[in-house]
Amino acid sequence: MNWVGLWTLINREVGRFLSVYKQTILPGIISSGLYIVVFGFTLEQRISHIDGIPYTLFILPGLIMMTTLTNATSNTASSMLQMKLLQQLPDLLTAPLSGLEISLAYIIGGTLRGFINGLMVMLIGILLIDMPVQNPLGTIGFIFLVSWAFASMGLLLGQLADTWDHLATMQNFFLTPLSFLGGIFYSIKMLPSWAQTISFFNPIYYMINGIRHTILGVSDSDPLISFFMALSMTILFSLSAILVMNSGKKIKL
């Protein structure tokens, strides 16, 4: 294992997103704050409680999860595609770094961005609406796990994508709709039964309900299933990203 190489690339990846924090950290905090103020405070007049939880509080775990997974995915995906398009990738591919080391560095970089964003939104919730966190360790652990899963997915997408358009398609037509339909703003019990059935096929539904359980103690899905779903996605996407990196598909001729 080239530990110095791995550490260097992690440093590069973390340094990259921190150097543009106005694009990578602040937007998640601002948009989550706006969701709380605009959605929460206005809709709370109409929908006072869901599962016995005030509406603004109910939506916060979902906002944490959406910010986490969006940032984790976009960090690895955009960093990898950028390196491909700007001819930076040869620096890594000609160095004595294995596919595992390169993949791990990217995934850790993306995980940290997702994790930091998730924690910041959680802090906003605590500061703005006094959000209680029932299981702080479980919450932090779950944010980290989901962040890793989606950072791995982002790396896989970044490796396979040829243009920014490919990434935007994934973000706009899959990730964002699935997040919204995963129950950020509602409990799926409020949906007709056919829509509830469809929600069970949405992996993000389990992520949102998993974190909601660790924070508020309520959840539409069994917390154990949510945890295993996050763990399965982490393993599946990590292995896939590493295998694609090792194979050189789309990154080597």
Partner 1 sequence: MAVPAIQISGLKKSYDDVHALNGVNIQIEQGQFFGLLGPNGAGKTTTINILTGLVRRGEGESKIMGKDTVKDYRFTRSQVGIAAQELSVDWFFPIEKLLYFQAGYYGIPKQKAKLQIDQLLDRMGLTEKKDSRLRQLSGGMKRRFQLAKALVHDPNIIILDEPTAGVDVELRHDLWQYLRDLHAAGKTILLTTHYIEEAELLCEKVAIIDQGKILKEGTPKELTRELGQSGITIHLSGYDEKLIPCLSDYSYTQEENRLHFSVDDPDSSLPDIIKQISSCDIHIQSVESSSSSLEDVFLHLTGKGINQ
Check the CA dihedral 248-203-108-18 and report its sign. positive
Binding mask 41-80 for partner 1 (x = CB under 8 A): ----------------------------------------
Contact by Cβ (8 Å): 199, 177:
no
Interactions with partner 1, residue window 73-132 (CB under 8 A): 86-88, 90-98
Cα–Cα distance for residue pair 48/56, rounded to 1 Å: 9
Helices within 86-98 (DSSP H only):
89-93
Cα–Cα distance for residue pair 242/194, rounded to 1 Å: 37
**In terms of Cα–Cα distance, which of 110, 143, 85, 138 is closest to 238?**
110
Interactions with partner 1, residue window 221-250 (CB under 8 A): 248
**Comparison of 108 and 143: residue with beta carbon closer to partner 1:** 108
Taking the complex as a whole, the smallest distance from the CB of residue 109 to partner 1 amounts, in Å, to: 12
Cα–Cα distance for residue pair 149/200, rounded to 1 Å: 19
Interactions with partner 1, residue window 11-40 (CB under 8 A): 11-12, 15-16, 19-20
Taking the complex as a whole, the smallest distance from the CB of residue 12 to partner 1 amounts, in Å, to: 5
**Comparison of 71 and 214: residue with beta carbon closer to partner 1:** 71
**Comparison of 132 and 248: residue with beta carbon closer to partner 1:** 248
**Comparison of 48 and 88: residue with beta carbon closer to partner 1:** 88
Give residues with Cβ within 8 angstroms of 175, minimum separation 6.
69, 70, 73
Mark the segment that binds partner 1 (CB under 8 A) among 1-9, 49-57, 165-173, 226-234. 1-9
Hey, what are 8's tokens?
A: 């260097």
Residues interacting with partner 1, by CB under 8 A?
Answer: 2-5, 7-9, 11-12, 15-16, 19-20, 86-88, 90-98, 248, 252-253
